[in-house]
């Protein structure tokens, strides 16, 4: 069983050449605006991969920061009083598209990471100093030694008022997405998620930040990853473009090379962490005044055979892992499809603005499964949802694997006009109004939307196909929603008892043609 991830603990809210030129080569570590850099060293992604391979051949050692007693005093409240001085921001490219600020260590971020700036074939470490940060006069951070290291970094907007990208804690990173609102996170790697025993959390131990003058590329992040059973090297090319609608498109092209120290039976590639408390289909779990509370409302998949699948997220009565077997998947991601403020009514954290994230493999990934992990929760502060690709073959000690994929942070994924998509799922009492309701029967209602329904009306041969892993399905039918353009509603009852979940699968078709993506769900009769 895996523990809940406290979002407050896990996530806190060119020019490199110019910087080197200002600092000069005569004295390594000379100060400019409070920033000190270490000595030059040669750098390349090939060298970083070689370092990861070398590290994997040695016994793992836990990293501990000097001054641990002082770090223990930097609790949540004390951490909020630390501010990186804006004048010390690292200008990574000549036109100021990617100024970087650094996160301080603390009680919840005790393991230091090394951060370097890259200039062509060279890199220099940014050296920790308490002078980089603003703190109260009696703050424990003022007693920490120079050269300590950092917790992570974030990339700011040009005006330095807001950030849009953050790497902080283990191998977590996230962006503020299309609507400038942080939500779900991704990780470099997951190990043994939702298996008996503790989950292993690999961590990025070193970052190399490179600005880019190339059109379309804002920043390149290189990272060294380490944990008891794996070491690896990552190259993350990041593009951020704002369109005419003022929507930010963030695309990350990721390449990683992994070396196993010990055998890993559940390797999580391109893992997500998100939150789902309740939505329109789980109103019985709502204890808050807000109608819905979630960062993501469903898992979308594009299988190797081209089938598009939508799985609404649940808050189950116990930890559940659903595995969707596939061969060479074309994509998957956690989405926030519901963008209507009225469905959330939260004008403080704006759940309707949370990003959707889509993974697109750039190489064949072979046989495996997309895993969806759902953990019961009774609050919005816990990340209780995980999703990732899990290869069938264990990752054995001494093995090397490479993965290439694209991460797109979007308002929604593009679907072909030939398919309708599920916009909402509701459940309620089974049977018919005005008649005695049957025991153990639950009604499911799914709305599908799309231009595929243009010109199709009631009586034109649209039907719903439903299958159930157990129990019986009855009263299944579909009809166009009155006064709603290109919107159809599917309804059916499921009768089942017992504690085991019921797996459901449904889609609309006309003749032999599928009109919609495949909707799948899991239902707990006694929940």
Residue 156 has pLDDT above 50, yes or no: yes
Contact between 198 and 211 under an 8 Å Cβ cutoff? The reply is no
9 — pLDDT class (breaks 50, 70, 90):
very low
Mean pLDDT, residues 485-493 taken together? 97
> What's the pLDDT at 320?
97
| Residues 6+ positions from 340 with CB-CB distance below 8 Å | 352
20-68 pLDDT, tens digit each: 344 333 223 333 467 999 999 999 999 999 999 999 999 999 887 777 8
Collapse the DSSP code of 49 into the 3-class scheme (helix H, G, I; strand E, B; otherwise coil) and give the result: helix
pLDDT, average across residues 237-253: 87
Which tens digit of pLDDT belongs to each residue from 97-130? 789 999 999 999 999 999 999 999 999 999 999 9
Nearest-CA neighbor of 124 among 55, 29, 45? 29
Confidence of residue 2 (pLDDT cuts 50, 70, 90): very low
| pLDDT per residue as tens digits for the range 162-211 | 999 999 999 999 999 999 999 999 999 999 999 999 999 999 999 999 99
Whole-number pLDDT of residue 214: 73
Mean pLDDT of 131-151: 94
Task: Give dist(CA 145, CA 166) in Å, integer.
Answer: 25
How confident is the model at residue 341, as a pLDDT? 97
Q: Does the structure show a pLDDT above 90 at 468? A: yes
Q: Is 12's pLDDT higher than 80?
A: no
Residue 6's CB is within 10 A of a number of other CB atoms, namely 13
With a cut of 70, say whether residue 336 has pLDDT above it.
Answer: yes
Rounded average pLDDT over 478-482: 97
What is residue 4's predicted lDDT score, i.e. its pLDDT?
39
> What is the number of other CB atoms lying within 10 angstroms of the CB of residue 436?
7
Q: Which residues contact 474 (CB under 8 A, 6 or more apart)?
A: 441, 492, 493, 495
Cα–Cα distance list, 474 to 27, 448, 493, 496 (Å): 79, 20, 5, 12
The CA distance from 5 to 273, in Å, is 9
**Higher per-residue pLDDT: 435 or 67:** 435
Specify the pLDDT at position 284.
Answer: 79
525 contacts 497 by C-beta, under 8 angstroms = yes
Instruction: Of 18-27, 251-260, 430-439, give the lowest mean pLDDT range.
Output: 18-27
421-523: CATH homologous superfamily?
Immunoglobulins (2.60.40.10)
* Over residues 328-343, mean pLDDT: 97
3-class DSSP state of 196: coil
CA atoms within 13 A on the CB side of 322: 21
State mean pLDDT over 494-502: 94
pLDDT score, position 15:
39
- Band (pLDDT 50/70/90 cuts) for residue 94 is low
Beta bridge partners of 516: 420
Sign of CA dihedral 217, 49, 155, 170: positive
Predicted confidence at residue 441, as pLDDT, reads 95
DSSP state of 438: P
What 3-state DSSP class applies to 522? Answer: strand
* pLDDT band for position 215 (cuts 50, 70, 90): low
- What Cα–Cα distance (Å) separates residue 347 from each residue in 177, 248, 352? 18, 20, 10
DSSP letter (8 states) at residue 429 = E
CA 403 to chain centre: 17
The pLDDT score that the predictor gives to residue 241 is 83
Cα–Cα distance for residue pair 297/302, rounded to 1 Å: 17
- C-alpha Rg value of the chain to the nearest Å: 25
pLDDT of 414 higher than 90: no
The pLDDT value given to residue 368: 99
The C-alpha atoms of residue 175 and residue 182 are separated, in whole angstroms, by: 6
Per-domain boundaries in the chain: 5-131+151-410, 421-523
Cross-strand partners of 466: 506
- Range of lowest pLDDT (30-39, 359-368, 393-402): 30-39
pTM for the model stands at: 0.91
Q: What is the C-alpha separation between 430 and 232, in angstroms, rounded?
A: 52
Q: Nearest 10 degrees: CA dihedral of 338, 521, 313, 451? A: -20
**pLDDT > 80? residue 517:** yes
Region 264-280 average pLDDT: 97
Dist. CA 191–CA 173, nearest whole Å? 17
Alpha helices (H) in 146-290, listed in sequence order:
none
Q: What's the pLDDT at 33?
A: 64
CATH code of 5-131+151-410, in short, is 2.70.98.10
pLDDT of residue 245: 79
Task: Say yes or no to pLDDT of 220 above 50.
Answer: yes
Give dist(CA 174, CA 185) in Å, integer. 5
| % of residues, the chain, pLDDT over 90 | 82
Spatial distance between the Cα atoms of 230 and 71, rounded to a whole number of angstroms? 27
Mean predicted confidence (pLDDT) in 2-23: 38
Q: Where are the beta strands (DSSP E) in 275-398?
A: 276-278, 293-294, 298-302, 308-312, 320-327, 331-335, 356-361, 367-374, 382-383, 385-391
- 277-302 pLDDT per residue, tens: 999 988 778 889 999 999 999 999 99
Residue 10: which pLDDT band, with cuts at 50, 70 and 90? very low
> With bands split at pLDDT 50, 70 and 90, how would you rate the model's confidence at 13?
very low
pLDDT band for position 14 (50/70/90)?
very low
């Amino acid at each position: 069983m895996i523990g809940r991830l406290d979002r407050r603990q896990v996530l806190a809210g060119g020019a490199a050449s110019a910087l080197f030129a200002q600092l000069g080569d005569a004295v390594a570590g000379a100060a400019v605006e409070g920033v000190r850099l270490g000595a030059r060293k040669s750098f390349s992604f090939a060298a970083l991969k070689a370092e990861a391979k070398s590290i994997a051949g040695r016994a793992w050692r836990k990293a501990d920061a000097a001054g641990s007693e002082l770090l223990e005093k930097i609790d949540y409240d004390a951490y909020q009083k630390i501010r990186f001085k804006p004048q010390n921001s690292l200008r990574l490219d000549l036109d100021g598209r990617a100024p970087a600020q650094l996160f301080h260590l603390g009680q919840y971020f005790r393991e230091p990471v090394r951060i370097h700036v890259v200039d062509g074939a060279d890199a220099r470490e940014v050296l920790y100093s308490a002078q980089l940060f603003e703190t109260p006069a009696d703050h424990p951070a003022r007693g920490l030694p120079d050269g300590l290291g950092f917790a992570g970094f974030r990339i700011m907007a040009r005006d330095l008022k807001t950030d849009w990208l953050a790497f902080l804690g283990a191998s977590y990173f996230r962006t503020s997405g299309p609507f400038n609102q942080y939500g779900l996170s991704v990780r470099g790697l997951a190990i043994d998620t939702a298996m008996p025993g503790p989950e292993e959390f690999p961590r990025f131990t070193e970052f190399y930040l490179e600005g880019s003058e190339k059109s379309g590329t804002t920043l390149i992040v290189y990272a060294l990853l380490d944990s008891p059973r794996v070491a690896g090297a990552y190259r993350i090319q990041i593009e951020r473009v704002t369109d005419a609608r003022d929507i930010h498109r963030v695309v990350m092209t990721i390449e990683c090379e992994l070396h196993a120290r010990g055998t890993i039976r559940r390797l999580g590639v391109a893992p997500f962490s998100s939150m789902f408390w309740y939505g329109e289909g789980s109103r019985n779990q709502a204890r808050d005044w807000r109608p819905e509370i979630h960062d993501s409302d469903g898992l979308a998949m594009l299988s190797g055979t081209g089938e598009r699948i939508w799985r609404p997220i649940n808050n189950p009565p116990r930890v559940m892992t659903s595995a969707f077997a596939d061969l060479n998947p074309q994509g998957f991601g956690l989405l926030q499809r519901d963008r209507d403020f009225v469905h959330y009514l939260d004008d403080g954290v704006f759940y309707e603005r949370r990003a959707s994230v889509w993974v697109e493999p750039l190489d064949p990934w072979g046989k495996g499964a997309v895993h969806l992990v759902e953990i019961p929760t009774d609050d919005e502060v816990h990340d209780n949802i995980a999703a990732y690709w899990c290869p069938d073959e264990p990752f054995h000690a001494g093995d090397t694997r490479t993965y290439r994929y694209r991460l797109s942070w979007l308002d929604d994924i593009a679907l072909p006009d030939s398919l309708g998509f599920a916009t909402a799922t509701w459940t309620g009492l089974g049977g018919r109004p005005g008649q005695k309701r049957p025991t153990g029967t639950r009604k499911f209602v799914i709305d599908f939307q799309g231009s595929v329904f243009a010109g199709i009306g009631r009586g034109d041969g649209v039907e719903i196909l439903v299958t159930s892993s157990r129990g019986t399905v009855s009263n299944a039918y579909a009809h166009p929603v009155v006064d709603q353009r290109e919107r159809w509603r599917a309804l059916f009852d499921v009768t089942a008892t017992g504690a085991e979940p019921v797996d459901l699968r449904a889609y609309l078709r006309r003749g032999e043609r599928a009109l919609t993506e495949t909707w799948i769900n899991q239902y707990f009769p006694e929940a």
